[in-house]
Chain A
């Protein structure tokens, strides 16, 4: 469908949502085959959209763009950075309007939806050889069996160890070794509940889909067509949270908390455990220095492999300069540029061999380096548990169902069955 027509159709969507309280409009159909082979000269202008990276990394991205333009005369890269808040909404609006940037920073779940609508280039058709340039699990994160393709170049990875507020733990009777498994975490959480009740708790948020994965729950069937986290193991995990809540080790407010609320509660000394990232220590030192002084870093809580998050660069299947867009996406995600970026930001590269760099292997005795080395080790073992097909709507629905189950308003099995049914329903969209 021509982009002008899509824009026309999308206009009422934007207008209806923003102007009229009762106006919600639809998108467009898309019949174009996104799986064409990339050909043509690397030239012309492309747009490159990142997610909240301008503040702090402007110099890096300006340099990246300049280097690409110098290496490919005749190209222009227009860098657009979107704020963290509402990034998905921005992607949605662009996608509906047919104005998705040529190269766009996406997580696997956004890539899955966009790919399903035929908006992203299928790299398994156009650039299958690129697979060897990236860590296999990073490449696989954007391979969607139900769609039969791979839809983005892996970019940066993030994982993180556990952060424990030892002052809170000691106050609430938890001493000795810090928990590294879920069983140890819940045992310590129950002890805190008896000692501290509402003053402080071990856990600051309900489990998300990735926690089910790291607990050992199979999330999807092998074909990636059905969710399976409502099995006995999944019920067992939710029952742990229910037990914790009954004992007073989880407040009602916690049942409604998002990740930002969990971090805030940890900074306020109300929560003992924070599953953090490599960025957390820096953040704590800047915004909660008293808590940072009492924090101890421990391996990520898991019954299996650690969890990892990934950001990738996808190429718009309708780009007018596809060859340039592909060239830039590969340039930005090559080993050299990923290494340079990881030395500026608290992230980890996904390019093959980049984690072997001495930056991730040599200890200089500082806390920050110790944390980086610990996290890099975790990255090499970690798994992207969050299935790409598990949409943000399913994330919200799962949290709501678990909250009802933990409160005792719904049977745990029934709640998980409903969450699975809802997630499966969203698979077909």
Chain B
């Protein structure tokens, strides 16, 4: 009995080599759950989408191979051009704000007093709200007969209500405003974490050199969180290009007046769902979206690496 409980000696070349050889699968065992999820929910749909994009499949009919016809059709599709313009504009306008504004906010609320804690919580609140709730709040505020227009009319600042949710560009900028408002707190928290890692001695040295709060922010804080800024730039680019909820809710699910506010993700949803779904065509839009996002991220990474090298 006692012999059976005695551990086997681990010394000896043969024993060690054998154990390593026998358990080659051990790392795969640990990886298996994650791999299964990645293959099932990411890799397989992705490959399936690639395959679909070169077919004329609909939801109810398996497609036939049609080569690049879907992509040719996309090139001539006015709605796709509008969607791509809107999504790229979203990235161009939202990302710089998302990189800078939360940093400023984080610098303002970076402290341990109770009042700063209150502001941190207040700025973070929109993050925990669902995009639908956020959208509904802003819809009620910005509607032609909503609170903002009523206020402007009451103050005699406008005669006619402003079409925040009906004019093509105003609707898009309203959606950007909502995205920024609801995302600031999230990135602010990331910046706060990064700022906690900046050496306090740097601030002390800057102060001794006579630097005020703005100089300390520009010369100590901002460089200290540079890598975090790059990361936030990446995150917010992807999120901005894939925007859906805000535009969907603000336009009542229609894609705006005459469909002028539709984004790429909304177009995929419109083409790829419902009984008349053209899944092959929607797949082609998805592939283009993937390529554009890939190029966007590659460009950002290249720029970031170039900055780090210099």
The answer to whether A92 touches B290, judged by C-beta atoms less than 8 angstroms apart, is: no
In the complex, the chain A residue whose C-beta lies closest to that of B60 is A117
Which of A7-15, A46-54, A167-175 contacts its partner?
A7-15
Question: What 1/0 mask marks residues of chain B from 264 to 308 whose CB sits below 8 Å from any chain A CB?
Answer: 010010111111111110110011011000000000000000000
- B61: contacting residue among A117, A256, A400, CB under 8 A: A117
CA distance A261 to B253 in the complex (A): 11
Q: Is the CB of B279 within 8 A of A256?
A: no
Asked if A285 is an interface residue, CB under 8 A from chain B, the answer is no
Task: Give CA–CA (A141, B55) in the complex, Å.
Answer: 33
Interface string of B246-278 (1 = CB under 8 A from A): 000001111111110000010010111111111
User: B60 to A96, Cβ gap below 8 A?
Assistant: yes
Asked whether, in the complex, the Cβ of B252 is within 8 Å of the Cβ of A27, the reply is: no
* Docked pose: A12 CA to B265 CA in angstroms: 18
CA distance A88 to B60 in the complex (A): 13
Question: Which of B18-26, B28-36, B38-46, B204-212 lies on the face that meets chain A?
Answer: B38-46
Given A16-B49, A110-B275, CB of A396 within 8 Å of CB of B283: no
Instruction: State which of A18-26, A151-159, A313-321 sits at the interface with chain B.
Output: A18-26
| Contact indicator B48/A22 (Cβ below 8 Å) | no
Using a CB–CB cutoff of 8 Å, the interface residues on chain B facing chain A are 40-42, 44-46, 48-49, 52, 55, 57-63, 143-145, 160-161, 163, 165-167, 242, 251-259, 265, 268, 270-280, 282-283, 286-287, 289-290
Say yes or no: A256 contacts B251, CB within 8 Å: yes
Closest to A28 in B: B62
Given A110-B275, A253-B165, A258-B253; A24-B283 close (CB under 8 Å): yes
| Residue interface bits A92-116, CB-to-B below 8 A is 1, else 0 | 1001100000000000001001101
Q: Decide: B145 and A256 in contact? CB cutoff 8 A.
A: no
In the complex, A413 has a CB within 8 A of chain B: no
Asked if A23 contacts B45 (CB within 8 A), the reply is yes
Partner of A19, one of B41, B252, B277, B286: B41
CA distance A20 to B167 in the complex (A): 31
Q: Is the interface of A mostly helix, strand, loop or mixed?
A: helix
Chain B residue contacts of A392, Cβ below 8 A? 274-276
- Whether A255 and B257, one on each chain, are in contact in the complex, defined by CB atoms closer than 8 angstroms, is yes
Task: List the 8 closest pairs (A to B, CB-CB), nearest first.
Answer: A26-B57, A252-B166, A23-B45, A16-B45, A22-B286, A117-B60, A24-B272, A29-B62
> If the complex has contacts A15-B41, A92-B275, A92-B277, are A26 and B257 also in contact, measured as CB distance less than 8 A?
no
A351 interfacial contact with B, CB 8 Å: no
Q: Which of A64-72, A130-138, A328-336, A401-409 lies at the interface with chain B?
A: A401-409
Q: Kindly state whether residue A198 has any CB partner on chain B within 8 Å.
A: yes
B291 CB, nearest partner CB in chain A, Å:
10
Q: Is A270 an interface residue (CB 8 A)?
A: yes
**Contact residues in A for B57 (Cβ distance below 8 Å):** 25-27
Question: Complex: how many Å from CA A295 to CA B3?
Answer: 95
Please state if B60 and A95 are interface contacts (CB–CB under 8 Å).
Answer: yes
Contact call A270/B145, Cβ cutoff below 8 A: yes
Q: List 7 A-B contacts (CB under 8 A).
A: A21-B265, A25-B48, A27-B279, A88-B275, A391-B275, A391-B276, A429-B58
Partner of A113, one of B41, B251, B265, B275: B275
The answer to whether B254 and A89 have CB atoms under 8 Å apart is no
Question: Contact between B46 and A20 (Cβ–Cβ < 8 Å)?
Answer: yes
CA gap between A105 and B51 in the complex, in Å: 34
Given the known inter-chain contacts A15-B45, A16-B49, A92-B277, please indicate yes or no for A21 contacting B242, CB distance below 8 A: yes
Q: Which residues of A contact B287 (CB under 8 A)?
A: 22
> Which of A22, A255, A429 is most buried by chain B, counting CB atoms within 10 A of its CB?
A22
Contacting residues, chain A, for B41 (C-beta < 8 A): 15, 19-20
Q: Nearest-CB distance from A252 to chain B (Å)? A: 3
Cβ proximity bits A388-423 to B, threshold 8 Å, 1 near / 0 not: 000111001101110110010100000000000000
Q: Is the CB of B254 within 8 A of A22?
A: no
B254 CB contacts on chain A under 8 angstroms: 256, 258, 396, 399-400
Q: A24-B279, A25-B279 are in contact. Are A15 and B44 (CB under 8 A)?
A: yes
Rounded to whole angstroms, the CA-CA distance of A16 and B42 in the bound complex is: 8
Chain B: CB-nearest residue to A111: B275
Given contacts A26-B58, A119-B60, contact A261 B272 (CB under 8 A): no
A368 part of interface (Cβ distance < 8 Å): no
Contact B278 A429 (CB under 8 A): yes
Using Cβ atoms and an 8 Å threshold, which residues of chain B touch A95? Answer: 59-60, 275
Whether B55 lies near A26 (C-beta < 8 A) is yes
B90 to chain A, nearest CB (A): 15
Residues of B within 8 A of A257 (CB): 252
Given A21-B289, A396-B254, list of 16 further CB < 8 A pairs?
A9-B62, A15-B45, A16-B48, A21-B286, A22-B287, A25-B52, A27-B58, A28-B60, A88-B275, A110-B275, A113-B60, A113-B276, A117-B60, A251-B161, A256-B166, A393-B274
Known contacts A15-B44, A19-B41, A253-B144; is A26 also within 8 Å of B274 by CB?
no
How far, in angstroms, from A210 to B278 measured CA to CA in the complex?
25
Question: What is the chain A residue whose CB lies nearest that of B269?
Answer: A17
Q: Which residues of A contact B286 (CB under 8 A)?
A: 21-24
Cβ contacts under 8 Å, B40 to chain A: 15
Nearest CB on A from B138, distance (A)? 14
A101–chain B nearest beta-carbon distance, Å: 15
How far apart are the CA atoms of A110 and B59 in the complex, in Å? 13
A9 to B45, CA, bound (A): 11
Bound form: Cα–Cα A27–B272 in Å:
11
Which residues of chain B come closer than 8 Å to A256, judged between CB atoms? 165-166, 251-252, 254, 256-257
Contact of B274 (CB < 8 Å), options: A12, A21, A88, A116: A88
User: Which residues from B are CB-within-8-Å of A409?
Assistant: 258
Q: How far, in Å, is A402 (CB) from chain B's closest CB?
A: 9
The answer for the CA separation of A393 and B269 in the assembled complex, in Å, is: 12
Complex CA–CA separation, A228 to B132 (angstroms):
39
With A114-B275, A429-B276 known as contacts, the answer to whether A23 contacts B166 (CB < 8 A) is no
Instruction: Enumerate A183-215 residues with CB–CB distance to B below 8 Å.
Output: 197-198
Residue A343 lies at the interface, judged by CB distance under 8 Å to chain B:
no
Question: Which residue in B44, B167, B278 is a CB contact (below 8 Å) of A12?
Answer: B44
Can you list, as one digit per residue, whether each of A22-50 has a CB less than 8 Å from chain B (1) or not (0)?
Answer: 11111111100000000000000000000
Question: Is the CB–CB distance between B58 and A251 below 8 Å?
Answer: no
Q: Which residues of B contact A113 (CB under 8 A)?
A: 60, 275-276
- Is A376 an interface position by the 8 A CB rule? no
Q: Which residue of B lies closest to A199 (CB)?
A: B145
- Establish whether residues B258 and A400, one from each chain, have CB atoms under 8 Å apart when the complex forms: yes
**How far is B268's CA from A325's CA once the two chains are assembled, in angstroms?**
36
Highest count of chain A CB atoms <10 Å: which of B55, B61, B270, B283: B61
Interface centre among B57, B242, B268 (most CB of A within 10 A): B57
- Give A10 Cβ to nearest chain B Cβ, in Å: 9
